[in-house]
Structure 1
Amino acid sequence: MISIVIPVHNRLEFTRQCLACLSVQTYRNFQIIVVDDGSTDGTDLMISQEFPEVVVLKGDGNLWWTEATNWGIRYAQKQQDKRQESFVLTLNDDTRVAPDYLQTMLDAYRKHKPCLIGSVSVDSDNPEKLEYAGAAFELYTAGGRHLSEDYHNSYRELSSRTSYVESHSLPGRGTLIPMEVFDKIGLFDSKKYIHYMSDIEFSVRARKAGYRLIVNVPSVVYEFVKATGIQVERKVTLKEFIDGFTSIKSPTNLRVRYNFAIDHSKTKALYFCFDVGRICTGFLLRKVRIMKSL
């Protein structure tokens, strides 16, 4: 049984499209748990009318991604049949997947277990553009890179060269997690990582506990890139950049990144300084490139 946990908030059309993709999966032993964190756009009514088989858990708007996901996991834990293999699939609503998506995830798990299985991410508007295929990093100086760069950000090149990539972390956007992992390392940490980086932190904990982190190339998530967070390609103003250091909605939130440094890096505060320096340098380099192109 796969319990698909999807946190949502006021994105009715994205949620509808995501649920429609899941409703036609070739693998059928799954349940969908939508955690509707205070939507006011009629998301819950739409789901009850169009997808009555979907479980909807209602929040008050203060759960954010991490605790909303934990709500779904706790529900799945209570419902699980321990006589069969059970999994949680974390998924965002601003995605679509092919009908064989769940089957490819299960096939990869059985091939590589014990492991967590992550998805390749491509741009929904340009499926050839590879957005994610794993990450490599070290925990001393915050160095690292996106492994999609090794394939020139081309899904065609990736799929022609390999069937899977081993990663140092996995995002929550399409990750299959055996239920036993939660028993071993706990849930996502919603106290230190309210919205961003809880998925990365969880996968790092899982890797430390002995689980491989596999990105399965045939398991593709088509991501609506323009709907996700702060875009690197977008011209972020200096004010937006600085505000990102304190915003819950920002991946550069300093408290979150400090917590990760203390929890998992080898050099603690020094890692945090390197990490912030890397973020600032990246912003300045993007500004310089923009100015040169004018």
Structure 2
Amino acid sequence: MKVYFLIPTRNRKEKLFACLNSIGKQTYQNIETVVVNDGSTDGTGEDLVQDFKDITVLQGDGELWWTGAMRMGVNYLLPKLMDDDFMLIQNDDTYMEPDFVQTLIDEYKSTKAIIGTAVKDKATGKLIYNAHKIVHGSFRTTVADSQEALLETDTISGRGVLIPSKVFEKIGNFSKLFPQYAADYDFFCRAKQAGFKLLVSIKAISYSTSNTPNLSKRIKLKEKISIKDVWQLFTNRRSSNNLWGSTMITLLYVPWKYKLYGILRIYLYVIKFVVVDWGVNGIKFAFKK
């Protein structure tokens, strides 16, 4: 059972190298690592070759985004995969304890499932999420209060997931339909529809080392939000509030009895954000001055 780590990266050299160092300390030995470097300009490519000679580096042009990088990595690895091998997809801004891979392998042997991992903040130890559930018609990261070692989940995020090779044989690669956000949700929803069980490990933890808020959070934290910010929030592929991704995931995978409610919630939030966060709060900010 060989495990192939697949990690996309762009201009986060220090975080990536910390992640790779934690992979190098794994007790499970049958590991190979592939990094897709999507046009980094911070010296990532050069230093990877120098400092991690046993790692395969695939070079992107800076326009792959998450999905394109994953597709490149999967296409590279597919010819190498044997029937009992795995891909383990991971973010570059993560840290793993030495027993991380061994724990996932042991849990796979008893379940034959696709297994994701709980995510904790590396700095605080706080649990960020351990499941992804359909709540009020949309997929949400949740913190399930359970004593079980493995939790059932409606989909999985792409941070620390052990995927058996047969999954790719049956459902193919990550979808171009979702260039950045939601491609992971789509992939694992398709896997579930194809008959694969989705579980999240509570014992194998992916520790997040990220301390930079994403585009959506940065916009929402602004005291004064511009019309450009509003446009970026709902259309930019870097935004987790991107309407294309959230709408398509809801249409494709939320059960019919919740689908309309889920779509309404998405667009009611847009109206609320425009009227209150941009409109009313913008007026208040103007009067402050």
TM-score w.r.t. length of structure 1: 0.84
The 5-angstrom pairing of residues 140-155 of structure 1 reads 142-143=137-138, 145-148=140-143, 150-151=144-145
* Residue matched to 1:216: 201
Structure 2 counterpart of 1:154: none
Q: Does 1:227 align with 2:218?
A: no
Cα-to-partner distance string for 1:104-162 (whole Å, 9 max, x where unaligned)? 1111111111x2100110001111x1101002216xx52565431x43xxxxxx6xx22
For 2:276 and 2:81, locate their aligned partners in 1 and report how far apart those are by CA, in whole Å: 49
Q: What secondary structure does 1:244 align onto? A: helix
Matches within 5 A, 1:65-144: 65-82=66-83, 85-113=84-112, 115-127=113-125, 129-137=126-134, 142-143=137-138
Aligned to 1:272: 263
Q: Deviations over 1:184-225 (max 9, x none)?
A: 1111102x1001010011111111111111111110011024
Match of 1:203 among 178, 183, 188: 188
Query: What one-letter code is carried by the residue in structure 2 that aligns with 1:174?
Result: G
Match of 1:257, SS? Answer: helix
Bigger CA radius of gyration: 2
Instruction: Determine the structure 2 residue equivalent to 1:3.
Output: 4
Q: How does 1:177-192 map to 2 (within 5 A)?
A: 177-190=163-176, 192=177
Query: Which residue number in structure 1 is paired with residue 44 of structure 2?
Result: 43
Q: What SS does the aligned partner of 1:169 have?
A: coil
CA distance in 2, matches of 1:283, 1:171: 28
The amino acid of 1:72's aligned partner reads G
Determine the C-alpha separation between the residues in 2 that align with 1:98 and 1:42: 27
Q: Which moved more, 1:27-36 or 1:263-272?
A: 263-272
Once residues 136 and 107 of structure 1 are traced to their aligned partners in structure 2, the CA distance between those partners, rounded to angstroms, is 25
Displacement over 4 Å in runs of 4+: 230-234, 266-270, 278-288
Are the equivalent residues in 1 in contact too, given 2:88–2:162 (CA < 8 A)?
yes
Residue of structure 2 equivalent to 1:246: 235
Distance 2:115 2:35 in 1: 21
3-state SS, counterpart of residue 211 of structure 2? helix
Q: Percent of counterpart pairs with the same letter?
A: 31
- Aligned residues of 1:94 and 1:227 also touching (Cα < 8 A): no
Q: Work out whether residues 142 and 275 of structure 1, in 8 Å CA contact, stay in contact via their aligned partners in 2.
A: no
Distance 2:271 2:108 in 1: 38
Paired with 2:182 and 2:138, the residues of 1 have a C-alpha distance of 16
**170-179 or 269-278, which moves further after superposition?**
269-278
- TM normalised by structure 2 equals 0.85
Q: CA deviation at 1:260?
A: 1.9
Q: CA RMSD in A?
A: 2.6
Paired with 2:173 and 2:18, the residues of 1 have a C-alpha distance of 28
Q: How far did residue 283 of structure 1 move?
A: 9.8
> Structure 2 vs 1, CA of residues 172 and 283 (structure 1 numbering), >3 Å: closer, same or farther?
farther
Name stretches of at least 5 consecutive residues in structure 1 with no aligned partner: 152-157
Q: Is the 8 A contact 2:137 2:261 kept in 1?
A: no
Question: Structure 2, unaligned stretches of length 5 or more?
Answer: 285-289
Residue-pair matches, total: 273
Partners of 1:256 and 1:144 in 2: how far apart?
11
Cα pair distance change 1:56/1:146, threshold 3 Å: closer
Kindly indicate whether the alpha-carbon contact (under 8 Å) linking 1:90 and 1:174 is maintained by their aligned counterparts in 2: yes
- Distance in 1 between the 2:272 and 2:249 partners? 20
State the 1:56 CA deviation.
0.2
| CA offset digits 1:29-49 (Å, max 9, x no partner) | 111000000011111111111
